[in-house]
Amino acid sequence: MISLQNALKAILNDESSRQAIACIHGAEHITYGQLFHHAALLRDQLDAPRGNPVLVCGHKEPAMLAGFLACIAAGRPFVPIDQSLPAGRIRQIAEITEARHAIICNDKVSVSGVPLIDGSLPDQSSQDAGNQEPEDLFDDPVAGLETVYIIFTSGTTGEPKGVKIPMEALNDFLNWTVNSLFPAPPVKKVWMNHAILSFDLSVFEVWTSMATGGTVVALESASNRNVRAAFRDLSDNNVQLWVSTPSYADLCLLDPRFSSETLPTIEDFVFCGEVLSHGTAQAIKRRFPQARVWNLYGPTEATCATTGMEITDATLEAHTVLPVGWVKPGTQIHLDAGEIVITGPNVSTGYMNRPAMTAEKFFTTDNLRSYRTGDRGEFDEAGTLFCIGRADSQIKLNGYRIELGEIESAIRALDGIDAVACVDLRKEGRVTAIVCCYCGIEHDDGSLKQSLELILPHYMMPSRFMRISELPLSINNKIDRQAIRRLFK
């Protein structure tokens, strides 16, 4: 059985493992020893009570990983904060978590009202830092039902909600990704990190890599626009496991260089966070005949992913809509009036300081935690799960889970807005954009976006706005969202 604590201690106590590269970020190549050394320095500055959350702020610097390790060692949950989040949202997160520390890993993050700790790595990290590690670094870390991290997602109330993941759940997830999911344990592999660290898809590659002594190659978010730079990073560092949303793969597929000729070392493509279309999977298999393709499903509240399977040629031949796989060992899924309900040790302990919201979504089954996902599903005769949509207004765009109601609340609060409705536009079952209709004073798109950028993350920003005299209503006097979609076609 995998225990993150034991895995980290094993690396700490072995000199060759300490000297192995843990993270590559541009020109930075950071060893496990260097990460542990910096984590020990940061741990000693965390003097708030055990269990009090710590904001770890930056982008994809190795310093953020050191900050995460420092929090684990100090018995403190970490809250990943990406520099792309607006200051207003960071302030909300700090207030919800009641954080007493923020580790700042670069100068592009603005945090107020919280004591700051400089988390940046020295320009010249000592190459023999791995020989200076305190033996007690992971002797009393976060454990059991203590929260190891809190990831914030969109909320229906107009405020983000923090999902608390206990160490028990992370260890359970790692036992699956290390011991059961792949044909052989992915020990000391080179992983791609595309997702920002405040997006729970990053949990897959960061912590599976850490638990197995592997290397993470962190791509800058600019790779969304410059995929050829990403290809160079992945090729130069011999990346073996690709982890991303299907949307990023679709972007890469537009470039003919995205193939096994450019990236010959890739062994596995792992997709999660949104619908993997038949066409995307087929194109990947055509371009990379040597690689396996995996389709995973799971909400943040169940530790990144809960089901998965390899998409083979036989799978593509049998299904036009791809299954999301079999349930991981130790977890159960049942359908309640078509809604997917997850039960098991990988389920979150609830939302940070949101007891009513927690009570609505979480409950106990035979002393195990259960979570109502809001996703609709069905099983085939072989027990394979298919995810067939949502039972509410939540959507996924580029892998991010978004409550349209939160966007509407933010727009409704602006001066001169009387009514608002946001809808998603789709292609082949996948959300491609968010658009907005509003009633009230005419606003140009630029001024609306400028106002919203202060409170909403970039991935929640509507791509288009339209002012109309009144919102269309259905025969039941509800907003007719299909009619709104037609306005943007």
Contacts of residue 194, defined as CB under 8 A and 6 or more positions apart, other chains included, come to: 219, 223, 230, 243, 244, 245, 248
For residue 333, what are its two tokens? 């899924």
What digits encode the pLDDT tens for the residues 39-77? 999 999 999 899 999 999 999 999 999 999 999 999 999
For residue 262, what are its two tokens? 């450019």
SS3 436: strand
Cα 242 to Cα 264: distance, rounded to the nearest angstrom? 12
Cα 322 to Cα 201: distance, rounded to the nearest angstrom? 20
Segment 257-273 shows an average pLDDT of 97
pLDDT of residue 72: 98
Contacts of residue 475, defined as CB under 8 A and 6 or more positions apart, other chains included, come to: none
Residue reference for tokens 């960071």: 90
Segment 15-44 shows an average pLDDT of 95
For residue 308, what are its two tokens? 């998965």
pLDDT exceeds 70 at position 5:
yes
Letter for the amino acid at 196?
I
pLDDT exceeds 60 at position 129:
no
Strands 21-25 and 78-82: unpaired
CA of 59: how far to CAs of 56, 65, 127, 164, 420, in Å? 10, 10, 24, 21, 33
What digits encode the pLDDT tens for the residues 89-106? 999 999 999 999 999 999
Cα 326 to Cα 280: distance, rounded to the nearest angstrom? 21
Cα 4 to Cα 78: distance, rounded to the nearest angstrom? 15
What digits encode the pLDDT tens for the residues 303-313? 999 999 999 99
Residue 127: pLDDT band (50, 70, 90) is very low
What digits encode the pLDDT tens for the residues 203-247? 999 999 999 999 999 998 776 678 999 999 999 999 999 999 888
The pTM (predicted TM-score) of the whole model is 0.85
Name the least confident of 67-76, 312-321, 399-408.
399-408
pLDDT of residue 395: 87
CA nearest to 351, candidates 47, 53, 50: 53
pLDDT exceeds 60 at position 273:
yes
Higher pLDDT, 78 or 154: 78
Angle at 202 between CA 200 and CA 208, to 5 degrees: 115
pLDDT of residue 480: 84
Q: What percent of the chain has pLDDT over 70?
A: 95
Residue reference for tokens 């992945």: 234
What domains are defined for the chain? 4-385 (3.40.50.12780), 394-487 (3.30.300.30)
Letter for the amino acid at 410?
A
pLDDT of residue 178: 97
Query: Which region, left, alpha or beta, applies to residue 396 given φ > 0 means left and ψ of -120 to 50 means alpha?
Result: beta
Residue 123: pLDDT band (50, 70, 90) is low
- Average pLDDT of the residues of the chain: 91
pLDDT of residue 390: 77
Letter for the amino acid at 341?
V
CA nearest to 323, candidates 378, 268, 283: 378
Q: Quick one: how far is CA 52 from the chain centroid?
A: 22
pLDDT exceeds 70 at position 180:
yes
Residue 126: pLDDT band (50, 70, 90) is very low
Are the CB atoms for 156 and 403 separated by under 8 Å? yes
Cα 457 to Cα 445: distance, rounded to the nearest angstrom? 16
